Chain A
Amino acid sequence: MFFLHDFNSDIDNDGENDAFIKELDPDGDGVSHISLIDTKGCFYNGFGVDLDGDGNLDITYTTETGLSVNLDDSGASEFNFIDSDGDGKADSFILDVNGDGNSELELYDTDGDGHFDTKHFDIWSAIDAISDIISGDFEEPSFVNVPDDTADPFDPDSYDEPDDVITSDEPAYNTPNAAYYNKADLDGDGYEESLTVDTDGDGNVDMILVDTDMNGIHDTVLVDYDGDGVFEFNGEEENPDSPVETPTETPAEPDDDIPVLPDEGVKVDLDGDGYEETEMFDTNGDGKYDLSFVDSDNDGYAESVYSDNDHDGIYDVVGHDYNGDGELDEVNQIDYSDDSGVKSVTGWGGKNCINNYTGDLIGKKDYIDSDNDGENDIYVHRYDSNGDGFLDTSEQFFDTDGDGEVDAVIKTVFIDTDGDGSYDTYTECIDEDADGTFDAVKVYDYDDFFGLGDLVHVYQDVGIDSNIFINESELYNAYNRPTFNPDSVDPENVVGNPEASMDYWEFQGNTGRCAVYAQKFIIEQYTGQDIDIEDLVKTAKSNYWFDENQGTYVNNGNKLLDYYGVPNEVSYNNSLDDLRDALGAGKMVIVGVDADEYWGQDTDDIFSPSDGTNHAVQVIGIDDSDPENPMVILNDSGSPRGCGELVPADVFMDAWDDGNNRMIVAG
């Protein structure tokens, strides 16, 4: 036995990798027949068997999805046994005879006694994915798909039992197979003759039942199969006052809008392989082809159909026949619903897929009845948050008590934290009480190939790395304050001796050493010594005045001055005149400021929600050349242009005020 290879796999053919698979080749013939499946990312919880060696798993089992059989490789299981509660007994059985993705038969063991007691038959599964027959008692079926006089005329599931319909326009995700309908008086005569129905809950009416003779019984039905707003089917009941017989075939009475195609269209070989795979039709005779069938595998049958419904020269409906049975399995339509350019897409066929106009999947919605009680209790919305074509974000809404209200939310997001184009982080944010606040956040390492990795953080971390946003060159470009030029001013207008102090300035780099540097400038100027910054840092650290990660504690901003014997005094609530007095007396001054206020970053739209000191700088002078607009001159170690940095006095005062105008006067 040897392993062929390990790879991620999309078991359910929904375009998303949902398992990590290890293939086994027991007989060493180079063809794997058995695969071990890992959907949890940490242990094998399933297996798959390729009976015919065609590379497609014919039988799969996982603890999550149960047992599935897909013998025709259509991607849709013909039948599924599902053990949703993990008790070892299958509690639901789903049969999709024609592999169209809609089940024709569903059996449920609702009471967990090991016997199926509920069944749904969906005879019209190709059209409406709505159960036509529901029986709550498997032993004694009580269904009859025949209306009686008291039947609700709109009851496509069972004329004995009303469907769980929702009258609101809001989709109620806790109701399976629900049709959302509204009564309407479309002809404005005061009688609500119509029932407008949104069978797939996408917000668009795709069926209208009409009681044209106002006798209380609907006798006409309009159906918009492809959701383009045009009702292709306009059917009238032959005997509206009689019981409806179970239809034996899909009604397909075309209306005038559906083109009657000639036997042959124009065939072309667009891919240049010598086979005319594309057959085009001009359905409205305007000289432009607006319907194309494409036989991409050259087997004589078209797998895809493209339709330009609005005849604007752009195909806006795409259909696919995945299993080659001649019937479209999925039809996606682009509906340019407004002028904003936002493209919305409706899916049809029960897949609830959302695609952009190129056909790329940008979102998917799933309603799940996890406990098989007949009511959907989980709604999952997966979407592509950043437009890269990968469904990187999902939101799962849970209705744990079945009251129709969301009780819990889990949001998962794939993140590429290092910007290399590959997702490397997976976060799971849990809002356990659906109050809009995540109660727990889990962060995992993630690898495109190996999938989920180690749990990195628990409870709190939203994956924002503070360094992601810091591009040094960009950051320092923001520090665009002008600097003092002693040659351009009259010294009589300058308080202090900024030119002398500027000789001692240094840039602190991307460190939190501002207070250490501010004291360094003064110590060196006062003592005449050159002192290595690392010596100062070491001294500060060893005395617990400073921490590399946290910076300097506010009330330790003068400890190094003390250490090196520089006399100093700390005070608060000082004014600009107090600064002038200190500088005028030849003193050296350190102040605490909110540097964001003057580094050009704290603009009207870029600011911090609070105010406080985050930086220490040396004030080396005040330039009163313009008495109406004095400029404060700084030795600011935090900016690469901080040597003699000029800040307007009013801006400086705002920054200084955030620290209650704290001042250390030294010397």
Chain B
Amino acid sequence: MENKVCVAKTIKKMKTSDFVLNCKMPMGYVYGYPVLQIRNGSLCMKIPFLRYKVTGKPDQTLVFPIRYSVTMELPEERFVEFNDYAYDNRFADVDFDKAVGLFRHESVKSLNKKEYEAKRAELFGLYDKLAASLLNGEEFTAEDNAKMKDMLQMLVEPSLLPIYKVLDKDFYEKYLRNNEV
């Protein structure tokens, strides 16, 4: 039987799952772009959670640090881990109540809400394709990989990159690090 992953649907379901609700993340924390990982041969997806605050001014939506993450095994969608980074030594100097950046950042400044959501959907499609490749051996070409890298670098808020680097250095190096800088 084919293992089919749809990241967008998985995330939507996950938001109100008992596991996530019982993690007691406060209202207002929303998901960020997930990190795909191979852990002991299993495909896992780590979903970060953070806050945004719309200030009513264009391009000044506040971006707060990633505070939590939930990891699930795919394709089973079985929760395997919850992290509150307020209790992680690596984040000892992080003030989670203080914004670290602004949205829209430079690379998405020209996108309105619909266009941004379309890009996000497109990126989630690439996540699905990559998951299918890792689970079922389906094709994920070098072009797909390059596109995923480009889209992640476009959509992930630059102010969050240091945290992504901490969350998963391999994923960061592969998809988020901008080698042209």
Using a CB–CB cutoff of 8 Å, the interface residues on chain A facing chain B are 434-439, 457-462, 464-466, 469-470, 474-475, 478, 512, 514-515, 547, 549-557, 572, 592, 596, 600-616, 659-660, 662
Q: Is B15 positioned at the interface, with any CB of A under 8 Å from its CB?
A: yes
Residues on B with C-beta less than 8 A from A469 are 55, 57, 60, 62
Say whether A662 contacts B16, CB under 8 Å. Answer: yes
Is the beta-carbon distance between A553 and B27 smaller than 8 angstroms? yes
A464 touches B102 (CB 8 A): yes
6 contacts between A and B (CB under 8 A): A435-B181, A514-B27, A554-B27, A609-B157, A612-B28, A613-B27
- Interface residue B178 (Cβ < 8 Å from any Cβ of A): yes
A616 to chain B, nearest CB (A): 7
In the complex, the chain A residue whose C-beta lies closest to that of B58 is A605
Q: Chain B 143-181, CB within 8 Å of chain A: the 1/0 string?
A: 000000000000101110111010000000000111101
- Point out which of B22, B55, B61, B114 has the most chain A C-beta atoms below 10 A from its C-beta: B55
Q: A464-B100, A554-B25 are in contact. Are A607 and B61 (CB under 8 A)?
A: yes
A327 to nearest B CB, angstroms? Answer: 42
Q: Using A436-B178, A602-B54 as known contacts, say yes or no to A457 and B93 having CB atoms under 8 A apart.
A: yes
Whether the Cβ atoms of B16 and A660 lie closer than 8 Å is yes
Residues of chain B lying within 8 A (CB to CB) of residue A604:
112-114
Among A457, A466, A600, A607, residue most surrounded by chain B Cβ atoms (within 10 Å): A607
List of A residues within 8 angstroms of B176 by Cβ:
437
**Residues of chain A lying within 8 A (CB to CB) of residue B64:** 466
Cβ–Cβ < 8 Å partners of A600 in chain B = 56
Q: Please measure, in the bound complex, the distance between the C-alpha atom of A660 and the C-alpha atom of B27, giving whole angstroms.
A: 13
Does A606 contact B25, Cβ atoms closer than 8 Å?
Answer: no
Q: Are A515 and B177 in contact (CB-based, < 8 A)?
A: no
User: Could you say which residues of chain B place their CB within 8 Å of the CB of A612?
Assistant: 15, 28-31
**Interfacial chain B residues near A608, Cβ < 8 Å:** 30, 52, 54, 61, 103
List residues of chain A with CB within 8 A of the CB of B26: 512, 547, 550-554
Which of B58, B61, B95, B113 interacts with A461 by CB under 8 Å? Answer: B95
Total A-B Cβ pairs within 8 A: 151
Contact of B55 among A438, A470, A514, A615 (CB under 8 A): A470
Q: Knowing A457-B93, A547-B26, A554-B21 touch, does A606 contact B181 (C-beta < 8 A)?
A: no
A438 proximity list for chain B (CB < 8 A): 162
* A47, chain B: closest CB distance, angstroms: 36
Docked pose: A606 CA to B59 CA in angstroms? 7
Interface size class of B (residues with CB under 8 A): 35 or more
Write out the residue numbers on chain B whose beta carbons fall within 8 Å of the beta carbon of A549: 97
Confirm or deny: B98 has a beta carbon within 8 angstroms of a beta carbon on chain A.
yes
Give Cα A596 to B56, complex, Å: 9
Instruction: Say which residue of B65, B120, B162 sits within 8 Å of A437 (CB atoms).
Output: B162
Q: A605-B112, A616-B27 are in contact. List 5 more A-B contacts (CB 8 A).
A: A439-B165, A466-B64, A512-B27, A607-B54, A610-B32
Closest chain-A Cβ to B19's Cβ sits at a distance in Å of 11
10 smallest CB-CB distances across A and B, nearest first, come from A612-B30, A436-B181, A550-B26, A555-B21, A610-B30, A604-B112, A614-B28, A608-B52, A553-B24, A437-B161
Q: Please, how many angstroms separate the alpha-carbon atoms of A662 and B61 in the complex?
A: 25
Within 8 A of A (CB), among B85-132: 93-95, 97-104, 112-114, 116, 120
Partner of A609, one of B28, B52, B95, B98: B52
- What separation, in Å, do the CA atoms of A572 and B21 have in the docked complex? 12
- Our pick among A460, A464, A592, A606 for the contact of B54 (Cβ within 8 Å) is A606
Separation of A459 and B65 alpha carbons in the complex (Å)? 12
CB pair B94–A459 under 8 Å, yes or no, is yes
Instruction: Establish whether residues B31 and A610, one from each chain, have CB atoms under 8 Å apart when the complex forms.
Output: yes
CB proximity of A550 to chain B, nearest CB, Å:
4
Determine how close the nearest CB of chain B comes to the CB of A221; give it in whole angstroms. Answer: 39
CA distance A556 to B21 in the complex (A): 9
Q: Are A462 and B162 in contact (CB under 8 A)?
A: no
| Chain B residues whose CB sits within 8 angstroms of the CB of A662 once the complex forms | 16
In residues 46-74 of chain B, which contact A (Cβ within 8 Å)? 52-62, 64-65
Flag whether B12 is at the interface (Cβ < 8 A).
yes
Q: Is B116 a contact partner of A609 (Cβ separation < 8 A)?
A: yes
Q: Chain A's nearest CB lies how many Å from the CB of B61?
A: 6
Query: Which chain A residues border B112 with CB–CB below 8 Å?
Result: 604-605
User: Min CB distance, A593 to chain B, in Å?
Assistant: 10
Q: Which residues of B contact A547 (CB under 8 A)?
A: 26
**Which chain A residues border B103 with CB–CB below 8 Å?**
608-609
**Cα separation A557 to B25 with both chains bound (whole Å):** 12
Cα distance A600–B57 in the bound complex, in angstroms = 11
Asked if B27 contacts A464 (CB within 8 A), the reply is no
B contact residues around A475 at 8 Å (CB): 55-56
Residues of A within 8 A of B181 (CB): 434-436
- Taken together as a complex, chains A and B put the C-alpha atoms of A610 and B95 apart, in Å, by 21
Q: Which residues of B contact A434 (CB under 8 A)?
A: 181
Residues of A within 8 A of B22 (CB): 555
Q: How far is the CA of A557 from the CA of B159 in the complex (A)?
A: 31
Q: How far is the CB of B8 from chain A (nearest CB, A)?
A: 11
**Cα–Cα distance between A593 and B116 once the two chains are bound (Å):** 20
Question: Considering the chains assembled together, what is the distance between the CA atoms of A607 and B55 in angstroms?
Answer: 9
A355 to B30, CA, bound (A): 46
Question: CB distance A607 to B116 under 8 Å?
Answer: yes
Most-contacted residue by chain A among B30, B54, B177 (CB, 10 A): B54
Which residues does chain A contribute within 8 Å of B116, judged by CB atoms?
607, 609
Contact between B27 and A551 (Cβ–Cβ < 8 Å)?
yes
Q: How far is the CB of A232 from chain B (nearest CB, A)?
A: 41
A442 to chain B, nearest CB (A): 10
With A606-B56, A608-B30: A466-B162 Cβ-Cβ less than 8 Å = no
Chain A residue contacts of B162, Cβ below 8 A: 437-439, 460
Minimum distance in angstroms from A476 CB to a CB of chain B: 10
Q: B57 to chain A: which residues have CB within 8 Å?
A: 469, 606
A572 to B12, CA, bound (A): 12
Residues on B with beta carbons closer than 8 Å to the beta carbon of A572 = 16
Q: A437-B165, A460-B93, A607-B116 are in contact. Are A601 and B101 (CB under 8 A)?
A: no
Q: How far is the CB of A297 from chain B (nearest CB, A)?
A: 49
Min CB gap A172→B, angstroms: 18
In whole angstroms, how far apart are the Cα atoms of A57 and B44 in the complex? 65
Q: Compute how far the CA of A460 lies from the CA of B60 in the bound complex, rounded to whole angstroms.
A: 19
Q: Are B178 and A461 closer than 8 Å at their CB atoms? A: no
On chain A, the residues within 8 Å of B155 by CB distance are 609
Q: In the complex, A555 Cα to B24 Cα: how many Å?
A: 7
Nearest A-chain residue to B14, judged by Cβ: A660
Instruction: Return the contact of B113 from the options A464, A466, A607 (Cβ within 8 A).
Output: A607
Contacts of B27 in A (CB 8 A): 512, 514-515, 551-554, 557, 592, 613-616
Query: Bound complex: CA of A556 vs CA of B23, how far in Å?
Result: 11
**What's the nearest-Cβ distance from chain B to residue A450, in Å?**
24
